[in-house]
């Protein structure tokens, strides 16, 4: 039994429990999506600690990271930002306020519409986003360092295919129906 526990992970044990309680239910999707979710939950505290060491929460980093990776002049409209981040515009407004107060972003007249403002990283925002991302990537690399390099490449390819398949499925479904009050 001790040997089986060394080769079984949390998902294997959960599926075995579900098989006893609901033997007619196929829990196969947990093999993939359950493990992806669990891995995300396992590394989240480390990622959040990294960003906190730069006086950022994860949502704030998502904003300045998106601006940084957009390339010079590191400027996007609020609409471009919230579409990229897949969040509600109200959530973005709150984040932008905090980041502007911290001096990491500034609002500048839009290149396309003089009536609206774009969001642009400040020099401090560029420096902090780059430093935080470098540290995050180092931490994540350390977390998977013990995994075989060939298997990493294979897994990355398979996860890309899975991501594309799920995105295609969801796009065929259309946007979710709003919840009724």
Asked: is 53-145 a CATH 1.10.357.140 domain? The reply is no
Across 161-173, average pLDDT:
92
Within 8 A by CB and 6+ apart from 70, the residues are 76
Instruction: Tell me the pTM.
Output: 0.83
Q: Has residue 128 got a pLDDT over 80?
A: yes
Q: How far is CA 51 from CA 11, 14, 62, 65, in A?
A: 29, 32, 10, 11
pLDDT 10s digits, 74-100: 999 988 898 888 676 678 888 999 999
Return residue ranges of the chain for CATH 1.10.10.10.
53-145
Cα–Cα distance measured from residue 18 to residue 34, given in angstroms and rounded to the nearest whole number: 13
Q: Has residue 181 got a pLDDT over 50?
A: no
Q: What is the mean pLDDT of the chain?
A: 91
């Amino acid at each position: 039994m001790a040997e089986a526990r060394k080769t079984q992970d949390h998902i294997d044990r959960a599926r075995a429990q579900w098989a006893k309680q609901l033997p007619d239910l196929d829990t196969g999707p947990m093999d993939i999506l359950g493990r992806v979710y669990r891995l995300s939950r396992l590394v989240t505290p480390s990622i959040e600690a990294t960003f906190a060491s730069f006086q950022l929460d994860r949502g704030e980093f998502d904003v300045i990271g998106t601006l940084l990776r957009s390339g010079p002049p590191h400027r996007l409209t609020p609409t471009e930002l919230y579409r990229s981040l897949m969040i509600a515009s109200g959530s973005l407004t709150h984040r932008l306020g905090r980041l502007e107060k911290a001096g990491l972003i500034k609002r500048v007249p839009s290149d396309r519409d003089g009536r609206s403002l774009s969001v642009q990283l400040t020099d401090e925002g560029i420096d902090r986003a780059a430093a935080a991302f470098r540290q995050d990537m180092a931490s994540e690399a350390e977390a998977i360092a013990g995994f075989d390099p060939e298997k990493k490449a294979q897994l990355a390819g398979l996860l890309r295919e899975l991501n594309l398949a799920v995105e295609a499925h969801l796009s065929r479904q259309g946007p979710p129906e709003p919840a009724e009050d």
